[in-house]
Structure 1
Amino acid sequence: MSLPYPRELMRSLEFSAELCNRRREGLLTTAASLRDLCATWTFPGAGALSKADADATWSHLGTIEALWDQDRDAVAVMVNRIFSEAGARPHLVRHDGLDWHLHGLPAEAPIADAIVVNAAMAFIDLVRADDTARCKRCGDDRCERMFFDQSRNRSRRFCSTTCQSRTNVAAFRARHS
């Protein structure tokens, strides 16, 4: 059974998590690395991304992470603030082989604003469905990676099998020592 959300919503949340995770881990430090990540995820408008664009994007990542970590009501307030500050004007578009989907800003908008508005737009449906709890942090105490839980019963606790195994091995050793 698949989740009741559009594929582009799930991709937007996964892209937002990957962006924040890579930046926090020191793997996303230059305009070129941001351009590459945007190209990998087919995020539009990143072709001519400058250092100033990257710096502006980095300044929005705290807001995206806060969306991830807040309760539903706080997320709704934040989404409205993001839309207001960026002058969001949702509209339907087709591009890069993707069918009709929503963009919050026109194509010529600054990439940093487009990224944070894209994240906020993805949260709209989660707020409406009271499902923001699918946006999680890894259950391994040594990891802070963000991920979108796509499991049917919202039971995923770890960002990867590596973190899951590391936690299970540590628990086993603690029980048997």
Structure 2
Amino acid sequence: MLFAHDTDCSLIAAAALVNTAGRDGEGLPDVTALAEFFTAHGWTGRHERTEAELTSVRELRPRLRRVWYADEDEVVTIVNGLLRESAALPQLIRHDDEPYHLHAVPRDAPLATRMAVEAAMALADLVRTGELSRLRLCGHPDCDNVLVDLSKNRSRRFCDAGCGNRAAVTAYRARKAAARP
């Protein structure tokens, strides 16, 4: 394990949240989709299931996306802003049969605030350990998704939207075409 479990989960959830605003359309089209995202990424605590909550989560995405394009100083500015605006106060918490881990806002804080702070805390770990290079853009030329490379050998190149498979098929077809007389 490279990072603490909650850091890994928060980084993966942040990338997934950013990718819901891709060029293929709105990945969070309604409150039901947000509830599915909430469950899929193991969020707990307050979840209002309202249009206002959905709007506030959507509004977080461009700010988080900026992190994947930013240099270290800009990442620090974004992280510090998210933590300051949320009045983050890190504390060790244990809940839902999980071991102690950091929460920096109460579980009853608005969902978008908790998402912002969890992402900021995980990004702070990347900055502190000099691992910002693990934030990557998908290597497929037709994809603008982001990803977090949590592999030991830092070899992940493609997002979770099937781009690795598409690249492999394209390469296979190119090899087959080149082998034909």
The answer (yes or no) to whether the contact 1:145–1:159 under 8 Å persists in 2 is yes
Which residue identity lines up with residue 9 of structure 1 in the other structure?
T
Cα gap change, 1:83 to 1:65, in 2 (>3 Å): same
Residue of structure 1 equivalent to 2:88: 88
In the alignment, which residue of structure 1 is the partner of 2:136?
136
User: Would you say 1:151 and 2:147 are equivalent positions?
Assistant: no
Where 2:136 maps in the other structure, the secondary structure is: strand
Superposed CA offset, 1:120-176 (max 9, x none): 110111001110110111100111222111222212211259423433554563994
Contact 2:138 2:145 (C-alpha < 8 Å) held by counterparts: yes
1:71 matched to 2:71? The reply is yes
Percentage of pairs with the same residue: 32
Give the corresponding residue for 1:9. 7
Whole-Å Cα distance in 2 between the matches of residues 96 and 17 of structure 1?
24
CA RMSD, aligned part only?
Answer: 2.2
**Which 4+ residue blocks in structure 1 deviate beyond 6 angstroms?**
none
The alignment covers a number of residue pairs equal to 175
1:109 counterpart residue number: 109
- The answer to whether the 8 A contact 1:28-1:34 is kept is yes
Structure 1-normalised TM-score? 0.88
Larger Rg: 2
**Partners of 1:75 and 1:46 in 2: CA distance:** 27
Q: What is the deviation of 1:48? A: 2.6
> How far, CA to CA, are the matches of 2:123 and 2:76 in structure 1?
8
- The question of whether the paired residues in 2 share the 8 Å contact of 1:76 and 1:124 is answered with yes
CA distance in 2, matches of 1:96, 1:83: 24
Question: What does residue range 154-169 of structure 1 map to in structure 2 within 5 Å?
Answer: 154-160=154-160, 162-169=162-169
Shift of the 47–153 alpha-carbon distance from structure 1 to 2, 3 Å rule, reads same
Greater shift, 153-162 or 107-116, is seen at 153-162
The unaligned stretches of length 5 or more in structure 1 are none
Residue 53 of structure 1 contacts residue 111 of structure 1 at CA under 8 Å; is this kept in 2? Answer: yes
Structure 2 gap segments, 5+ residues each: none
AA partner of residue 116 (structure 2): V
Once the two structures are superposed, the pairs formed by residues 12-51 of structure 1 within 5 Å of their partners are: 12-24=10-22, 25=24, 26-51=26-51
Distance (Å, rounded) in 1 between the aligned partners of 2:108 and 2:162: 40
